[in-house]
Amino acid sequence: MASWIDTSPLDRRRIAESWLRKISSALEEKRYAAAAAMFHPDGYWRDLLTFEWLFKVLHGPGEVEAWLRKAFDAKPAGNFRLEFDPTVGAIGEHPETLEFFFRFDTAIASGRGYARLVPDPHSPATAKAYTFLTAMQELKAFPERRGKNRPHDDLHVTSTQTENWLDRRRAARQFKGKDPDVVVIGGGQAGLMMAARLGQLGVDTLVIEKTEHIGDVWRNRYHSLQLHNEICMNHFAYLPFPDTWPVFIPKDKLADWLAFYAEAMELNVWTKTTFRGGEYSGSDRCWTVRLRTSEGTVRTMRPRHIVLAAGVSGLPNIPHIDGANEFGGPILHSSSPTDGLDVKGKSVLVVGAGTSAHDLAQNLHVRGANVTMLQRSSITVVSLYPSSVRPYELYRQNDGVRPIDDTDLIAASVPYPLFARLQRPVSHQMMEDDKELLDGLRKVGFLLDNGEDDTGYFLKLLRYQAGYYLNIGASDLIVAGKIKLKSGVDIKRLAAGKVVFSDESAMDADIVILATGYKPLQEAVRSMLGDAVADRVGPIWGIGQDGELNNMYGQTAQPGFYVTGGGLPGARAYSRYTALLIKADLEGLRPHRDPSLQTANGSVERREPEYVQL
């Protein structure tokens, strides 16, 4: 095959169109072996909801064919058509890929996809799919109310009505005498974007938020915090940040944006409202939930669906430490505000070595504290530049070039197992680029790793949302000895003004800050909805054996229950699919409990957090 770089745009179009035509007709005629043979032996098909209301990864023609016989037969798709001119790219060991967006239809939905073709290793004149994404985008009967389909009042009618837009907004927010279809627990970025997606589909949604003001979750974080990744990947659904905004968004600016977003997207948010428990009734397919409102009363509601968007800040992980009562000084978890603490000249022990531990240690050092970091186990450290940005280079390159929804589709077209493989060499490059920093850290005894399967920090984010630090200065302070380090030990006990470590060494301390992370999200489910629901749902987050995030964004084994969250890009991109699942359920377009979640004996299958073996 001639190089695609040297091929004219017209010829690239012809290759892409011919490939799409071929797979379209193979699928239409149920020639599944022929369709599967259009995949590279190492190729991936990822489907987001289109065929089974699931997120699904298939690897290699064998898996593709078996799945087509089961899923496609039941729910066919057709009319695969090219969307824009193809481009030439590269991925992993493939120096040239022909890449293109396409559209397609099923009986009830319209979809978009993204394909990467590479030459067939056995017959280079033939193009095979290396990655192929099919993603449901819209339910045909319920298009989003945007663009040409935006709300369009008849002014002759509205001018005769006594209520105006503001009156209707106030009434909608109150839920007087009626219940929402969906209650979203948590009004951080993930909860708000979820509500915005649902709102666009006409789903009546209430967001409850326990703090006083929308955005407080960011406002209450430590003083110096700015987002650690660039703005290009952090835009909100429907409403990208102005292009005048800085690359790294300060936390209070983001907090204000959350409040603005809630107003702009006409979201119904009750602040100072907490979730006090709920039960699901399978017979009427409805939750009964209890909410403590800002007035101090308990309101009972009957939504059909609950989306948990309570973030990582749900339940702090606070270890038991012997002698804590004798210590005498403050012992705080990193989630508590520390800005008001008088730390100047004080000896502070920061327990932990993740992002919060580093940021807090640096912040306390700047405020004049004498800081020691206690590192119990190894982590991955990368420089902010050039290393931390490498995994999201796609977003940087497409910033201002493509709509963020298109970039999200390209990103989704690389399934997590492939992404992990691709990150291994990338992380090696990072280690090489950061050699001086890492050597310096090793020299002072800092414990480093590159992830359990040598795939670097971004996979740690996807697996644990922890275990790494993007160096914005704390590592340099550790190397220079300005933040002291105690590594490879744990706290044995506290005594008056003293910390004794497991190696029997000790230090004087005035304050202990526990940057010890958060309990698994499943525990937040347990505390809110009880053991039965938490056990049915299973572990949340981490890459499962099926190559998808465990119980995130999709239908969990608990009917009417979903979890959203993660970083801004995940919350933005995948809230679309959660909203489609909920809308389809409310409109009776999908089976109430997906049969694919049922095991042979009829019990409900749940995903265990087994990590992808590469």
Ligand X SMILES: Cc1cc2nc3c(=O)[nH]c(=O)nc-3n(C[C@H](O)[C@H](O)[C@H](O)COP(=O)(O)OP(=O)(O)OC[C@H]3O[C@@H](n4cnc5c(N)ncnc54)[C@H](O)[C@@H]3O)c2cc1C
Which residue's CB is nearer to ligand X, number 84 or number 385? 385
Phi and psi based region of residue 233 (left: phi greater than 0; alpha: psi -120 to 50; beta: remaining) = alpha
Q: Regarding beta strands 380-383 and 468-471, do their DSSP bridges make them parallel or antiparallel, or are they unpaired?
A: parallel
Q: Cα–Cα–Cα angle for 554, 355, 487, nearest 5°?
A: 125
Q: How far is the CB of 500 from ligand X (least distance, A)?
A: 30
Distance from C-alpha of 214 to C-alpha of 225, rounded to nearest angstrom: 18
Question: Is the CB of residue 157 less than 8 Å from the CB of residue 72?
Answer: no
Q: Of residues 105-144, which lie at the interface with ligand X (CB under 6 A)?
A: none
| Edge-to-edge strand list for the sheet holding 491-495 | 491-495, 498-501, 506-508
Window of 68-76, 95-103, 439-447, 565-573 that interacts with ligand X by CB under 6 A: 565-573
Question: Is the CB of residue 574 less than 8 Å from the CB of residue 564?
Answer: yes
Window of 68-76, 118-126, 221-229, 343-351 that interacts with ligand X by CB under 6 A: 221-229
Q: How far is the CB of 280 from ligand X (least distance, A)?
A: 17
Q: How far is the CB of 538 from ligand X (least distance, A)?
A: 19
Q: What is the DSSP letter of 385?
A: I
Which residue's CB is nearer to ligand X, number 111 or number 565? 565
Structure tokens at 511: 């304050």
**Is there binding between residue 210 and ligand X (CB under 6 A)?**
yes
The site string for ligand X over 156-185 (x = CB under 6 A, - otherwise) reads: -----------------------------x
Q: How far is the CB of 494 from ligand X (least distance, A)?
A: 26
**Is there binding between residue 430 and ligand X (CB under 6 A)?**
no
Largest CA distance in the chain: 82
Amino acid of residue 575: S
Q: Cα–Cα–Cα angle for 610, 540, 130, nearest 5°?
A: 60
Q: Given candidates 7, 50, 205, 229, which one binds ligand X under the rule CB under 6 A?
A: 229
Q: Of residues 372-401, which lie at the interface with ligand X (CB under 6 A)?
A: none
Window of 63-71, 210-218, 323-331, 596-604 that interacts with ligand X by CB under 6 A: 210-218
Window of 13-21, 228-236, 426-434, 442-450 that interacts with ligand X by CB under 6 A: 228-236
Percentage helix, strand, coil, to 5, in the chain?
35, 25, 40
Q: What is the DSSP letter of 549?
A: B
Q: How far is the CB of 48 from ligand X (least distance, A)?
A: 20
Q: Given candidates 188, 303, 415, 542, which one binds ligand X under the rule CB under 6 A?
A: 188
Which residue's CB is nearer to ligand X, number 25 or number 313? 313
Report helix, strand or coil for 542: coil
Which residue's CB is nearer to ligand X, number 118 or number 332? 332
Closest CA to 485 of 496, 494, 474: 474
Closest CA to 356 of 515, 567, 482: 515
**Is there binding between residue 474 and ligand X (CB under 6 A)?**
no
Q: What is the DSSP letter of 391?
A: G
Which residue's CB is nearer to ligand X, number 274 or number 378? 274
Q: Of residues 284-313, which lie at the interface with ligand X (CB under 6 A)?
A: 309-313
Cβ contacts of 162 within 8 Å, gap of 6 or more: none
Report helix, strand or coil for 330: coil
The site string for ligand X over 327-366 (x = CB under 6 A, - otherwise) reads: ----------------------------xx--x-------
Which residue's CB is nearer to ligand X, number 312 or number 409? 312
Question: Is the CB of residue 142 less than 8 Å from the CB of residue 583?
Answer: yes
Window of 29-37, 152-160, 224-232, 398-406 that interacts with ligand X by CB under 6 A: 224-232
**Is there binding between residue 314 and ligand X (CB under 6 A)?**
yes
The count of chain residues that interact with ligand X, using the rule CB under 6 A, is 32
The site string for ligand X over 249-278 (x = CB under 6 A, - otherwise) reads: -------------------------xx---
Q: How far is the CB of 566 from ligand X (least distance, A)?
A: 6
Q: What is the DSSP letter of 448?
A: B
Which residue's CB is nearer to ligand X, number 115 or number 568? 568
Question: Is the CB of residue 36 less than 8 Å from the CB of residue 44?
Answer: no
Cβ contacts of 277 within 8 Å, gap of 6 or more: 289, 290, 528, 529, 530
β-bridge partners, 226:
250
Q: Of residues 507-536, which lie at the interface with ligand X (CB under 6 A)?
A: none
**Residue in the block written with tokens 């039941």:** 74
Which residue's CB is nearer to ligand X, number 315 or number 507? 315
Alpha helices (H) along 454-520 = 457-464, 474-479
Q: Given candidates 77, 98, 118, 227, which one binds ligand X under the rule CB under 6 A?
A: 227
Window of 71-79, 437-445, 511-519, 560-568 that interacts with ligand X by CB under 6 A: 560-568
Site residues (vs ligand X, CB under 6 A): 185-191, 208-211, 217, 221, 225, 227-229, 234, 274-275, 309-314, 355-356, 359, 565, 567-568
